[in-house]
Amino acid sequence: MINLTGKTAIVTGAGRGIGRAIALKLAEAGAAVVLNDLDDAPLGETRSLVQAAAGRVETLAGDITSSGLPARLAVAAIDSFGGIDIIVNNAGYTWDNVIQKTSDEQFQAMLDIHLVAPFRLLRAASNWIRETTKAESARGERIMRKVVNTSSVSGTDGNAGQIGYAAGKSGINGMTKTLAKEWGRYNVNVNSVAYGLIATRLTQDRTQPGASLEVHGRSIGIGVQPAALEAVKALCPLGRPGTAEEAAGPVLFLCSPLSDYVSGEVLVCAGGMRS
């Protein structure tokens, strides 16, 4: 049994899918969780599920790409539960196109959500982490903390039609490896999980009604063409998409003491599928 009692975790993109599953696994393991999502209603649903599992939870709805929100999220964790032990940068979405059809706005949006927002949250937490670790070291204590960044096989291997998404997900892997080297002295493990095809609303059949999301007042089409979905399934040795709960498993491992000597890694969670 993984025991995270006494730990405080921040999870972004926790309103649905993988983020919700991560929040629940961390809470069930005993961690207090501070959750963020763009949409208040699904975030409230996650909050209710965590509370039903007897978990301690605070929520902060809002756009994580807004310049001031990451700092507010870090402060919320410290004020509510006394510290920050785990950060899971999970928020994200897809806005796909081939390069010649990708606008500056579209490309920048992918960098903002997948790269700039995680950078701002980690920067906001850095002073507290450094000062707290120095005090712990002075007392002869070594307390491990965890950062898990969400990536994708699009970021490790590239994927046609996802120039912006792949750039952001590749960038987060570079940030992961760099921060693992910067923060090792502060007893922080920093890793990424690169997902393949996981069954969420971002990978639904895009020909079905409701295959879109609202971001900054713009309706963005999401999902995958049915033929492409079947092709990916055929390429996957396990022959199926992963579930959100299966996707959350590697994150729980990387947030636990089992990973105390694992840092700077990109763990691929794709059912054996690589390009």
CA dist 91 and 118 (Å) reads 9
CA dist 216 and 75 (Å) reads 25
Question: What pLDDT tens digit does each residue of the chain (275 aa) get?
Answer: 899 999 999 999 999 999 999 999 999 999 999 999 999 999 999 999 999 999 999 999 999 999 999 999 999 999 999 999 999 999 999 999 999 999 999 999 999 999 999 999 999 999 999 999 999 999 999 999 999 999 999 999 999 999 999 999 999 999 999 999 999 999 999 999 999 999 887 776 666 666 767 787 778 877 777 887 788 888 899 999 999 999 999 999 999 999 999 999 999 999 998 75
Query: What are the structural domains, with CATH classification, of the chain?
Result: 8-196+243-269 (3.40.50.720)
Alpha helical stretches, state H, 202-265 = 226-235, 244-254
Among 47, 41, 4, residue whose Cα is nearest residue 24: 47
65 DSSP 8-state letter: T
Taking only the tens place, the pLDDT of each residue in 110-161 is 999 999 999 999 999 999 999 999 999 999 999 999 999 999 999 999 999 9
pLDDT, residue 275, reads 59
**Which amino acid is present at 253?**
F
What residues are annotated to the active site?
A: 165
pLDDT, residue 12, reads 98
Q: How far apart are the first and last CA of the chain?
A: 34
CA dist 154 and 171 (Å) reads 11
pLDDT, residue 158, reads 94
CA dist 176 and 267 (Å) reads 11
pLDDT, residue 206, reads 63
List, in order, residues 6 or more apart from 177 with CB less than 8 Å away.
Answer: 190, 264
Are the beta carbons of 98 and 158 closer than 8 angstroms? no
Q: Write b or e for each residue in 149-177: b if 16 or more Cβ atoms lie within 10 A of its Cβ, otherwise e.
A: bbbbbbbbbebeebbbbbbbbbbbbebbb
pLDDT, residue 226, reads 80
Helices 117-138 & 163-183 angle (0-180, nearest 10) = 10
**Which amino acid is present at 139?**
R
pLDDT, residue 233, reads 82
Which three-class secondary structure state does DSSP give residue 220? strand
